[in-house]
Chains A and B, each alone.
Chain A
Amino acid sequence: MIELIDVVRTFDGQRVLDGINLTIPRGKITVIIGKSGAGKSVLLKHLVGLLKPERGRILIDGFDITQAKGRQLQECRKKFGVLFQGGALFDSLTVFENVAFPLREKTRLSAAEIAVRTRQRLAQVNLSQEMEDKFPDELSGGMKKRVALARALIEEPEILLFDEPVTGLDPPMTNTVFHLIAKTHQEIGYTGVVVSHDIPAVFQVADYVAMLHQGKIIAWGSPAEVQANPLPMVQGFIRGEVNFLEG
């Protein structure tokens, strides 16, 4: 379980996170929605300790990651897998090398065992063996996301964070990526946190939805509960109203 308690973070005098309180249940997928620039990705980076809050605590299974440094922080991060917005694939490595990278660098598994696991993950995200030797710049946006997902899954993390997993993808590919998230979640059972503004497609993978607006969580609940939330901000965002988006 992940708990955020009164988390505050300011950038250039602007409070991007203004006393966030949120509980992310274990083994479920929680989707954080909000307009672009609302601080969703900032919130996600706080969860894995890439950014530190000015105030507040973030408990990962009871361990406060905001206070962790050095080895403690690295140990805590072993629970995480992250799918970055642009994929963050290593551009000098092939698809196979990218996916195998965490195993090669952090484990003593044999090359054969690494190859088996890597191919297993690539197959899980519907990537054929012919793709293995391609470099990231030879891949389409959707393929990059799938390779990044395979890499994030390779160590079977307890917690998987998705930063805008479908941004820039066409509708069929958006559905494919969301389908893969749902499928892998069912198979591995990780705790998922998905940051997205892709409404309503993102609701298909959500167990819970939290809406971030002006640094605060203004709505939380099941997708049906959030969609029924009477707050004008929530309704405005879900309907994609121009006034809200520009506000």
Chain B
Amino acid sequence: MKNLVSALGRGGLKIVQEAGEMALFLLAALGQACRRPFRFRRLMQEIHFIGLKSGLIVLLTASFTGMVLALQGYYTLRKYGSEGALGSAVALSLIRELGPVLTALMVSGRAGSAITAEIGIMRITEQLDALDTMAINPLQYVVMPKLLASLISVPLLTAIFDVVGIMGGYLIGVVLLGVSSGAYFSGIVQSVVSLDINGGMVKSLVFGLTIILVACYKGYFTGRGAEGVSRATTETVVLSAILVLAWDYVLTSFFM
């Protein structure tokens, strides 16, 4: 029993310590954004990698999510004779919850793991040390552009997810199941308020920064060799998913 308590204590301390180190890492990296040179080209490259290259997977996920929501929503709402509320059900679910969460999870799976592997390999092959010795700060050259790119790309991807998801819902609800097109869109207009959209966007900002921070941190402080990079990559995907869901609860309770 004593061993169990001490093991829990050690685990707890490790989590707190890692959270603190991650926060300091974030501050150090974002602090580099204010220093010359501004690395605009690197930022564009990262927006291309994190944002543009995640576009297709986000489009696919969004359209299927919207379609499933419409299908499920229709059969539930029909029991109460409220098929007309399908548009608002789909839109609110997407804008408030599923858009930010699923976009973040998709970006984490596609770009987060790749970022950890990229930085981890740079670490174990001494490429980060090489940057240091060239008097180029790796936090500024490698990490900071990725963090800024996440702040720009993930909210935009979330907005695309919301719109495509709503259109996917339209396809199933209106075209396939016969819900009135006017009712679908007027339901959205009447039920979605700016707080819903703002809340979704704040979530996507926080989620985006969180997943790319975790990815960069795990790569930057990866263990030794290929096994270390492999473990770091797995940890990135798992920890990002847990943090996104935990943040989602916290932020939802703020925006309710």
Contacts and interface: CB of A to CB of B under 8 A. Distances in A.
A80 B130 CA distance: 11
A106 B132 contact: no
Interface in A55-93: 74-75, 77-78, 80-82, 84-86, 88-91
Taking residues whose C-beta sits less than 8 angstroms from the other chain, chain A's interface range is: 20 to 34
B129 A88 contact: yes
A73 to B, nearest CB: 8
Nearest to B121: A91
B135 A75 contact: yes
Nearest to B133: A82
B137 interface: yes
A104 to B, nearest CB: 10
Interface in B129-167: 129-130, 132-137, 141
A106 B136 contact: yes
B17 interface: no
B198 interface: no
B21 interface: no
A101 B25 CA distance: 26
A75 B132 CA distance: 11
B127 A88 contact: yes
Contact of B130 (A74, A75, A82): A82
B137 to A, nearest CB: 7
A50 interface: yes
B130 A106 contact: no
Given A82-B129, A88-B125, 10 more contacts: A50-B129, A77-B132, A77-B135, A78-B135, A81-B133, A82-B133, A84-B126, A84-B129, A86-B126, A88-B130
21 contacts: A45-B129, A50-B133, A74-B137, A75-B135, A77-B132, A77-B133, A80-B133, A82-B129, A82-B130, A82-B133, A84-B126, A84-B130, A85-B126, A88-B125, A88-B127, A88-B129, A91-B121, A91-B125, A91-B127, A105-B141, A106-B136
